[in-house]
Amino acid sequence: MNTARVFKYKNLSLVAASLIFALFISQYEPLHIFLLNLGNLGYIGAFVAGILFVSTFKVGIGAVILLILAEELSPVELGLIGGLGGVVGDFTIFHFLKDNLSKEVESVYNRIDSKHHFIKLLHTKYFSWTLPVIGAVIMASPFPDELGVSLISISKMKTYQFLILAFILDVISVFLVVSASFLIKP
């Protein structure tokens, strides 16, 4: 019998393992040097920086690459291309959360709250619109997007709607970081 099919929480375990792996690999100096050199690649570097910018463990590296690129590239172009890279990163998170991880979390939730009090609360007219709005605010901020994407994926947003929203919010987020670099410079 295949152990991967028997193990019920393989996606939750994969998330935990990837977080532990990211912590270990973040200490590897040649990787830091390589990522900082992505700033020399122009718009390709901006795209990669956008992908890195939306993840918790890589947000600092993505921001540094964007700030390096802001010295040579237009902030608008950098925002658009970095935002496009951010959509790729966010869509990966969204797809993973919407399709696989949410089923496993639901299974755990059903054991904890068998009467579904929390779900009933979220589907009231007062809370049903707040999750996507709070998620969008988090995604538009220059902070990692995982929490915002999680809140939006709970709201059962369609994929094409998410892609449009993620692009707009990621462009805003990258543009805010790049614009801030112009204000901070002496």
* Tens digits of residue pLDDT in 102-153: 566 666 666 776 676 666 666 677 666 777 788 888 888 766 677 777 777 7
User: For residue 85, is pLDDT > 80?
Assistant: yes
Range of the domain at 12: 3-184
For CA atoms 94, 95, 96, 97, give the dihedral sign: positive
pTM for this prediction: 0.67
The DSSP 8-state label assigned to residue 145 in this structure reads: S
User: Assign residue 91 a region: left if phi > 0, alpha if psi is -120 to 50, beta otherwise?
Assistant: alpha
Query: Which range has the worst mean pLDDT, 49-53, 93-97, 166-170, 172-176?
Result: 93-97
Q: How many residues are listed for the chain in this entry? A: 186
Number of domains in the chain: 1
Q: What is the rounded distance in angstroms from the CA atom of residue 21 to the CA atom of residue 27? A: 10
